[in-house]
Chain A
């Protein structure tokens, strides 16, 4: 069986893929799907519980929560995708450098990677965001840096094995530039592992963005970010619990979707790992 048919027969993975498609559609079609303008305030209707007019209720400023959840998918996916790009590009550069140069540079880089992989990242992300200041871009940078060490390690491992193969040795001997080696030989080899990692990282990136925004250090108002919405709802939790709890469901569904797809991809692309963590 090829990878796709293995993936297709995994019901949870297909469910995850469907959820990802829903997320992508809601992000792309937000202006047409959202019943109201996500920033439109109606103070007389503040904290309206879910009902006919506002399907998921209204928040502290009388803004429609459903519309804000729909628009929030844009922030979540944008930060997620861009931080994956940062992680993959950074990791590719560092990983190939470490793998090809070797020696003390490699040893030093791998030591740093180990430290970063083990350290509770939220603490470092807090320090980074504290220094850079809040906002969508800085949040993306802080989240993206998190993924760099793991990608570096994946790429470096692949470079080390490939460096010894005859065809890569021949290509080098013929004077192939590093970029060509990377594109023709290294990339195709690491791609399956990278795709799996990137998908699972996407889930964690959405969680981290939400966490930073919840703390008030990530995406700033009035942009509709799910984590930020939970945070505003927290102030009225005891009088209007729906304001904080509803956007959280969106976070959970998005994270779950990417986790399911990532798990499914891993099982499909590398059957040996089937069933393991």
Chain B
């Protein structure tokens, strides 16, 4: 088990290095002088020179890349944001909890609703519920998340006055953003769960269990769901990545003070140091979540641990 964890952690390193490389390279390919773009046309020569030096822009790209990676991995130093002139790590730390709260709420919501709907669809295939759920998930996958958010605001804030329009601070503030962010994942998970459970329900061991006279609920719980859970779990890990992408949009719609909004702000302010840091944190979170997913396979299916 330990070697499995270590190996997975080692595999995560090139992912992070690759993401930083891609982001830095894209920014490097930026036409024109990055510093003038960041500071604006009217910046003093002194300020430009200072920032150039701070960013190490006179050095070749690879040197700068290794510099950045070295500082991040050895000292946890992400540099200073250009706009606020604060350590990037501090800015990210301020925004981080809000995003964790939002994505965690959405993930739980998506898992509960998606799995419940998917199992029900599989147990009663081609029923009215199944048709409704499948149509619903097609719509869920097709609705742009930022638009869903606005529609929910119109319904629940403007017309019904039940929930606040935006901002953060209370549980009521969390409801609409979390539902908005969760919807596409609910659709995805429901679809996946339906087909995974349907697959398992046709297996020999399920028929055997039924023939033995095991009750339908036990068959479902002990035999079917346990085995259907592995593909569902994989999808949950991948969906967490989707949720982080969706968080950027959801946070913008609901003025939710998280990493996604910080990232968009950084792009508009051309604060590339901050942007780099934000992308890195997202990537790290994504890698860690998928590591946890991989580890939990071992708990659900003893065969996985032995192979690892």
Contacts and interface: CB of A to CB of B under 8 A. Distances in A.
Interface stretch (A52-60, A63-71, A125-133, A169-177): A125-133
A121 B245 contact: yes
A131 B141 contact: no
Interface residues of B, number: 51
Interface in B222-269: 238, 241-242, 244-246, 248-249, 252-253, 263-264, 267-268
Given A112-B18, A120-B242, A234-B253, A127 B151 contact: no
A251 to B, nearest CB: 5
Interface residues of A, number: 46
A234 B23 CA distance: 30
A115 B18 contact: yes
A241 to B, nearest CB: 4
A211 B144 contact: yes
Contacts of A251: 144, 147
A72 to B, nearest CB: 13
Most buried by A among B23, B146, B249, B279: B146
Given A119-B283, A123-B282, A245-B154, A216 B147 contact: no
B245 A120 contact: yes
Contact of A277 (B14, B139, B192): B192
A interface secondary structure, majority: helix
Interface of A: 12, 111-112, 115, 118-124, 126-132, 203, 207, 210-211, 214-217, 227, 230-231, 233-234, 237-238, 241, 244-245, 248, 251-252, 255-256, 259-260, 275-277
Interface of B: 14-15, 18-19, 22-23, 26-27, 29-30, 138-139, 141-147, 150-151, 153-154, 158, 165, 191-192, 195, 198, 238, 241-242, 244-246, 248-249, 252-253, 263-264, 267-268, 270, 272, 275, 279, 282-283, 286, 290
17 contacts: A112-B18, A115-B15, A119-B19, A121-B245, A126-B248, A130-B270, A131-B26, A215-B252, A215-B264, A227-B146, A237-B153, A251-B147, A255-B141, A255-B143, A255-B144, A275-B198, A277-B192
